[in-house]
Chain A
Amino acid sequence: MSTGTALVPERGVLDSLLASLAQTPGHVVPTQSQWLKTLRAQALERVGALTLPTTHDEAWRFTSLAALARQSFHPLRTPTALQPGDIEHLHIEEATTRLVFVDGVHAPQLSSVSSDASLVVGALASRLATQASSIEQHLGQHAAFHDALFAALNTAFLIDAAVLIVPHDTVLATPVHVLFISTQPDVASHPRLLLVAGAGSKVTLIEDYVALHPGAYFTNSVAEVALGANAQVAHVRIQRESQQAFHMASCAVSLGAASRYHSASIALGGQISRLDLKVLQTADAAECALDGLALIGGQQLADTHTFIDHAKPHGVSRQLHKCIVGGAAHAVFNGKVMVRPGAQKTDSAQSSRNLLLTNKALVDTQPQLEIFADDVKCTHGATVGQLDSEEVFYLQSRGLPEAVARKLLTYAFGAEVINRIPVASLRRQLEQTVLEQTTGQP
């Protein structure tokens, strides 16, 4: 029986990654609690059982990982000695607390934890000593890995993590910046982030992926965010990896009663990037607003899969996902909204809007609604288009050259999402990035 190459489960890249697990130097693995060892062992078992997804898997229909399968990555061998000055340009001025990981390894000398005693923040090893019960209660409990290869792989590598625990009724006035920096090609890293927002607390988190080199590497991240009752979290996620990078990410969010979660996910880098964002409403009257923007060109592929799970009544969800696709790039969006039986009075609106800048650009968008309750208000819609020629003409008729008019309109398309980011300096940076990227498009 002949088998097409696409059907052969690719294990090459997985084997290289697993081999690297064995190579991880013993001295960087701290003594871990039994629960964590068990969690990692379970995850490792799933990695062994699962195969790299192919386009025959429904969730990966439009996203071929063939280019990833051909790669081989190794764990960090020689850490890069970065000086604080090397990353100054990456600072976000509003953020007084900054946790930095370099090629997946916590870099305390680059981090800066404000003296605000109300926040418990730090790397996993240090936090486990004092916050073991909070961490055990949440770490690995939200991001399911049984059928998710990349989440399983991340969990199998769970040695370090950025941990933020915001005590109940604590309001953090400034954002917390968690910065994951890649400095070397061919390295695989498995960033992990845990945010536990206690009841009534309020926090802004910036999860930021950057590269200081243009090469290929592999970032496989998992973030878990748990909101207690009435907690408010603003979660800004900036994926600005190198143009050659592979970026696989999961984010699992758990919403307590009447909590409010807002995320703005911006995807700019990576030859193949994927974000799986799952938001579960665990109690009544929780609200989430998910905003997304993918701005890609060249041969890039950016895939965003979101799942909003209205499991309880009176939930509200809002979603705006936008893609600006230039060159021969390919954007994928799949947004599923589930309204479970009994989740009455759910109010959900979802919009996918896509702008194609060239004839070779491609977008696949699939809004999906599954409703099992009868007293709900749910809307969704998707548009794919090019720049409106009447808008271009209007700007030209006021003296703007056609190229400038197109650039301005493209920028405006993205600005709707960027303007929702609650951090002013980051908005300015991203506006500049959008203007530069749209200028560079053929």
Chain B
Amino acid sequence: MIVQNSQTLLEVRGLCASVNGIEILKGLNFTVKRGEVHAIMGPNGSGKSTFAKVLAGHTAYQVTGGEVLFEGKNLLELVPEMRARAGVFLAFQYPIEIPGVGNSQFLRLAYNTVQAERGHDELDPLEFDDLVREKMKLLEMSPEFLERSVNEGFSGGEKKRNEILQMALLEPSLAILDETDSGLDIDALRVVSQGVNHLANKDNAIVLVTHYQRLLNYIVPDYVHVMSAGRIIRTGGKELALELEERGYDWIEAEAEATGAVS
């Protein structure tokens, strides 16, 4: 929701980033206020996922220019774990399987690490078990997923639910959902979206990185941005997504090229 006089949560100015010497982000500008839901759309290879990973601090990407302020502080100087503790959360497009690490153990470790950073009490395994089971109901997840290794043998939909479960536990102020809708059937999409909507409030913000408009029927964005060749070339309301669905990206890229406009 757009909240009057809301504070700026994330301010990205002229961000440039490359991987293996190839520039992917080429002067990206992007501002998010508390309470807002943003969708970043764009064709394959436009840099959407790179942007998400750069925000989370993935070391494979080098930031070569620009700045990122999170709650007014320089986010780029923080290592990934400090970004997470500061309230930045990335739901992975392809959540990693970690055989041998129990999901319950992993979730509790992450939860307690972030709680400690915020000056809250850590939970022992029994207390945590109560909490996590409550959160799992929200995502219609069976408690048996606690007994398994992190994401190991999970279906695509189960992995995505497990990502949103982590979001529910860590309560980030900025959640970036990278292609969370990919690989979800309609029921899973509904459940995951309900979970995200339930977690959204006036103090946090959600950035949806997605290729398809479908997700935006369930999680309604305040703003839709179109990314192309490493920049945001158009920003509009939720109706922009419908237009993109209908007309594709070519016309918007052509327009941007004609006017030289970079938002």
Contacts and interface: CB of A to CB of B under 8 A. Distances in A.
Interface in A193-223: none
A180 B194 CA distance: 60
A408 B166 contact: no
B80 A393 contact: yes
A405 B101 CA distance: 11
Contacts of B57: 396-397
Interface stretch (B6-14, B16-24, B90-98, B251-259): B90-98
A11 to B, nearest CB: 46
Interface in A406-435: 408-409, 411-416, 419
A399 B117 contact: yes
Contacts of A389: 59-60
Contact of A399 (B92, B96, B110): B110
Interface string A374-404: 0000000000000011110111111111101
A248 B95 CA distance: 44
Nearest to B80: A396
Contact of A412 (B56, B58, B100): B100
Given A393-B59, A394-B92, A402 B81 contact: yes
A401 B83 CA distance: 11
B238 interface: no
A396 B98 contact: no
Given A400-B110, A401-B81, A394 B166 contact: no
A395 to B, nearest CB: 8
B190 interface: no
Given A397-B56, A400-B109, A412 B101 contact: yes
B84 A398 contact: yes
B114 interface: yes
A412 to B, nearest CB: 3
A397 B90 contact: yes
Contact of A396 (B81, B95, B149, B166): B81
B29 interface: no
B101 A398 contact: no
Contacts of B114: 399
Interface in B46-67: 56-60
B234 to A, nearest CB: 29
A415 B106 CA distance: 14
Contacts of B80: 393, 396-397
Interface string B175-210: 000000000000000000000000000000000000
B153 interface: no
A7 B81 CA distance: 54
Nearest to B166: A398
A269 to B, nearest CB: 23
A412 B100 CA distance: 4
A400 B59 CA distance: 15
Nearest to B89: A397
Contacts of A399: 81, 84-85, 110, 113-114, 117, 170
B84 A394 contact: no
A399 B100 CA distance: 19
Nearest to A419: B100
B123 interface: no
Nearest to A415: B100
A355 to B, nearest CB: 11
B113 A400 contact: yes
B87 to A, nearest CB: 10
Residue in A389, A396, A411 with the greatest tally of chain B CB atoms within 10 Å: A396
Nearest to A414: B100
B262 interface: no
A20 to B, nearest CB: 44
**Which 5 interchain pairs have the tightest Cβ spacing?**
A412-B100, A398-B110, A396-B80, A394-B96, A399-B84
Interface of B: 56-60, 79-81, 83-85, 89-90, 92, 95-96, 98-101, 106, 109-110, 113-114, 117, 149, 166, 170
22 contacts: A389-B60, A390-B96, A391-B96, A393-B58, A393-B59, A394-B95, A397-B92, A398-B113, A398-B166, A399-B110, A399-B114, A399-B117, A399-B170, A400-B110, A401-B81, A402-B81, A404-B109, A408-B101, A409-B98, A411-B100, A412-B101, A416-B99
Given A393-B80, A397-B81, A408-B109, 9 more contacts: A390-B96, A394-B92, A394-B95, A396-B57, A397-B84, A398-B110, A399-B81, A401-B81, A415-B100
